Structure 1
């Protein structure tokens, strides 16, 4: 097909049977991603960035009226790169150490759509990826392409105030064993009622689901727990999401009481991944 320019802002494609005409804009009007004033730049392996995004981005909100939740907080402090996502009911926080250090703390909010696209583009290789930030956009340089996105202009919630402190009931569980138990119990869950009731006693965790038809499923697993008995309920889908995100073999769950949020982390003490889930009413 032959395109011919007609005037300053239109193209037409003539043929023996049809005529197509469309309007265009000058290439000078295309956004200039290279013209942004980038104030910070870091370099890290693709695999590290992909893992950081995969292990936190699932907690982002989707089409929330609080637009600043429909994205991922990317924060730089010293030599630490941190990502935080929350939808108001759960929170995921991840961090890693970078080679370069900044003197002032800085943060941006990357839109959900850009995070999902980055998750598709990144791979598990050790090839470096360069990330540059400005006040209005982010640029990610991969070996074979450059990716840019506008940022969300808003104030992300103070996530540090959400992290539970002082919990006195600590459980260590095999991640895969717990995930399988919750998955089996979830078979009887309905779309409207996805709660799972967790009962803790010495050395034992019991997960119970009761649906609207009063059908029930109960799963028991052995855990490391020596605290007082506790009964607490959560959205089962939220627990499964974070268990799918944690790569470690064991998880630590810290509780205060049935009305307080739970803090869930890998069982080691590095605290590079932290997950907070709000309880549901019993």
Structure 2
């Protein structure tokens, strides 16, 4: 193996995958980057076993094909301390990687590349294209509803499924639920998968790019997304995701329209004195007035109110104030629609001008 590459290009691509490099005494190769040259293409692969990132670089200079693994952090440090405009020359010789950068020379130890864990055996069962900004929005609108360290491990991620002609992204921690959907122009093979929390967070970070179509490949155990010159792959969570559709309202006749800004400001004022552990507030709606009340373990009380256009039956509910605030932070509509289900154990919130997202929040027992 031998190649020459501009330092700026190399460091740019190394930084994309370096987040996955972890110190692992039982599996030291996870601290390494897999370097491969084939058909004029240089690939840099990093993995933490759960997630794999491959950066693809087209080589424009003479090179010799080959494969090796070296410490990703050491290589990144070498690049960072080299002149930005300089070239880096790398050559594999007797299982050692020789690196020349300006007047500096380095010799790095390699580990056998055949022991590097890669997803070469990836086989997809469904594939589709989706605009990058749409997928980013779908994740952004609901990711706060994911479980964090729930014993129901399948809740610690996002459900991505295709039914009919729509793509759904669903997140819930058992107390709140977020759904975002997108209509697919192409008719693709249906699927239902759960992407783990770490994979969701990394994918969302990678989608911070100019709008462009991206390719998604869905496998039985993994999902792969092609983002510009990066290939993102993450393992999936096994398990039966809850039937989220069972908590959605079938009939949405009666609803309360609330100004998003006024509601958020009122909840923030009441949240100042809410209970530190339960974070609950009471909401009273009657005679054209919205009132929110809170108290805490120190017997302190807060009350805030504002006028609304509502003449229906009196509504009294208790709810986690921060669940509603997080929803309002993700909604850009001027108004929201609030629905109360018949069993009086949850509310459903929808944006006035965006039918692609909705939320369900369980009520607290009063």
- TM-score over 0.5 for the pair: yes
Q: State the TM-score, normalizing by the size of structure 1.
A: 0.86
Deviation at 1:193, TM superposition (A): 2.8
Q: State the TM-score, normalizing by the size of structure 2.
A: 0.67
SS of residue in 1 equivalent to 2:267: helix
Deviation at 1:256, TM superposition (A): 3.6
SS of residue in 1 equivalent to 2:160: strand
Deviation at 1:118, TM superposition (A): 1.5
Alpha-carbon spacing, 1:75–1:226, altered in 2? closer, same or farther (3 Å): same
* 8 Å contact kept, 1:185–1:207: yes
Deviation at 1:258, TM superposition (A): 7.8
Structure 2 unaligned blocks of 5 or more: 1-73, 75-91, 98-107
* 8 Å contact kept, 1:174–1:250: yes
| Whole-angstrom distance in 2 between the partners of 1:279 and 1:98 | 34
Match of 2:227 in 1: 142
| Whole-angstrom distance in 2 between the partners of 1:165 and 1:36 | 40
Match of 1:54 in 2: 140
SS of residue in 1 equivalent to 2:262: helix
| Whole-angstrom distance in 2 between the partners of 1:131 and 1:76 | 12
1:220 matches 2:305: yes
Figure out how many residues of one structure are paired with residues of the other and give that number.
265
SS of residue in 2 equivalent to 1:272: strand
1:121 aligned residue (206, 210, 213)? 206
Match of 1:186 in 2: 271
For the pair shown, the structure with the greater C-alpha radius of gyration is 2
Q: Give the alignment of 1:66-215 within 5 angstroms.
A: 66-102=152-188, 104-123=189-208, 125-166=210-251, 169-215=254-300
* 8 Å contact kept, 1:139–1:149: yes
| Whole-angstrom distance in 2 between the partners of 1:223 and 1:165 | 25
Structure 1 unaligned blocks of 5 or more: 12-21
| Whole-angstrom distance in 2 between the partners of 1:251 and 1:140 | 33
| Whole-angstrom distance in 2 between the partners of 1:133 and 1:192 | 40
1:42 matches 2:128: yes
| Whole-angstrom distance in 2 between the partners of 1:200 and 1:40 | 47
Superposition RMSD in Å:
2.5
Alpha-carbon spacing, 1:42–1:167, altered in 2? closer, same or farther (3 Å): closer
Deviation at 1:78, TM superposition (A): 3.0
SS of residue in 2 equivalent to 1:184: helix
